[in-house]
Amino acid sequence: MPIVPEGSKVLVTGANGFISMWVIKTLLEQGYLVRGAVRSAEKGKRLREYFAPYVDKVEWVIVEDITKNGAFDEAVKGVSAIEHLASPLTSTSDDPDEFIQPAVLGTVGILKSALKEGPQIKRIVITSSILSVLSTVKSGRRVFNEEDWADEFVNLVKELGSKASGDAKYRASKMLAEKAAWEFVKEHKSEISWDLVTLCPPLVLGPPLQDVPTPNDLNISLKIWFNLISTEKDDQVLGSTHGFIHPKDIAGAHVLALKKEAAGGHRIIVAGGTTTWQDLRNLIYSLKPQLYEKGILPRGNPELQTIVTNIYDTTKSKNILGLEYKTYAEVIHDTLADFEARGWLKEPASLS
């Protein structure tokens, strides 16, 4: 029997986000009730429209500031599980604490609220990131698993402070937020009724369910991906490695993490695979050569000799969750079909 059976009510935070909307869709399709948390009524408008067919299965609550003490106290009442996907707004400050503290406070805050709610809650699933796992591969290739942590970037931020890159600060915030969650569970082990699962995905790529009138309205993962296939890049960038997962797969992982009792207490990498940006361009060319022949997308350097430096060990996701992944060809097909339907690939693409 699933630890959180169908018919249970699940709180989904950051409900208007790219991954969150896919998670909500999957939960509803599989018979769960959903309470979605958003920052404002305006942010919930698209949700009410998209999920109108499930009006009797879904409800919406407003949590304006996820970093405030007790922010989720009301939102967690009466739910059996929590899917925590909310992340703080991107910081424009150079201060590392402006990145790190909101991420940590938001994550620990929902665990504190769940602790107050008591025994009705059975499981909490937190979306972390592959960035909390990875460190720099200086030569050759390396296989990363759930025992790996991005301490390199935490130490770098401690050393450089405000002079550290935004990327380093973001990576540090992801790792420290996830570690704070596991520390909270350890410290309150005798008090909590629920167990914790953290999922660590790479770039999530596929059709967005949100309202995205232009490419500039895409979420961060898709915007990064679109930028790196649609603009000229040097060989160093083209030869660098990235990971991918389809939104249906990460949403499926979230729901399986509620159902599978064995998932409790585990950190799990969820990824369809890794490749280089030039190899991605080569794959897109094999699938949709017209996009290059018409000059809509730049070819890059097809002769570039590349090596995939980062390999993700997804054994745990397959053994515990039973997860099977879509190939990158399937991810590309679904993503570009969506972009073409929106009219974005009729002329050379650009992001301002």
- DSSP labels for 60-106? EEE-S-TTSTTTTTTTTTT-SEEEE---PPPP-SS-HHHHHHHHHHH
Split into its structural domains, the chain has a count of 1
3-state secondary structure of 31: coil
Report residue 305 as tokens.
Answer: 């000799």
pLDDT of residue 91: 62
Residue 92 has pLDDT above 90, yes or no: no
* Amino acid at residue number 322: G
Is residue 346 a part of any domain in this protein? Answer: no
pLDDT at position 50 is 95
Burial readout 224-253 (b: 16 or more C-beta within 10 A, e: otherwise): ebbebbbeebeeeebbbbbbbbbbbbbbbb
Say yes or no to pLDDT of 39 above 80: yes
- In a domain, residue 291? The reply is no
Q: How far apart are CA 30 and CA 259, in angstroms?
A: 11
* 292 assigned to some structural domain: no
**pLDDT value at 348 more than 90:** no
- Single-letter amino acid code for the residue at 221: S
Say if 37 falls within a structural domain: yes
pLDDT-based confidence at residue 352 (cuts at 50, 70, 90): very low
Q: Give the domain extent around 81.
A: 9-205+244-273+311-325
The answer to whether residue 337 is domain-embedded is no
Model pLDDT, residue 350? 58
CB 230 within 8 A of CB 218: no
Give me the mean pLDDT over the 276-302 stretch.
97
Residue 4: inside a domain: no
Rounded Cα distance, 136 and 322, in Å? 30
Is 70 exceeded by the pLDDT of residue 35? yes
The DSSP 8-state label assigned to residue 276 in this structure reads E
pLDDT in tens, 152-165: 999 999 999 999 99
pLDDT in tens, 325-334: 999 999 999 9
Band of the pLDDT at 90, cuts 50, 70, 90?
low
Higher-scoring residue by pLDDT: 43, 50: 50
Task: Establish if 263 belongs to a structural domain.
Answer: yes
pLDDT in tens, 100-153: 998 999 999 999 999 999 899 999 999 999 999 999 998 899 999 999 999 999
Q: Which two tokens stand for residue 274?
A: 């890794």
Cα–Cα distance for residue pair 150/141, rounded to 1 Å: 16
- For residue 199, the domain's CATH number is 3.40.50.720
268 lies in some domain: yes
Cα separation, 263 vs 31, in Å, equals: 20
Confidence of residue 93 (pLDDT cuts 50, 70, 90): confident
Query: What confidence score (pLDDT) does residue 189 get?
Result: 94
Predicted TM-score (pTM) above 0.85: yes
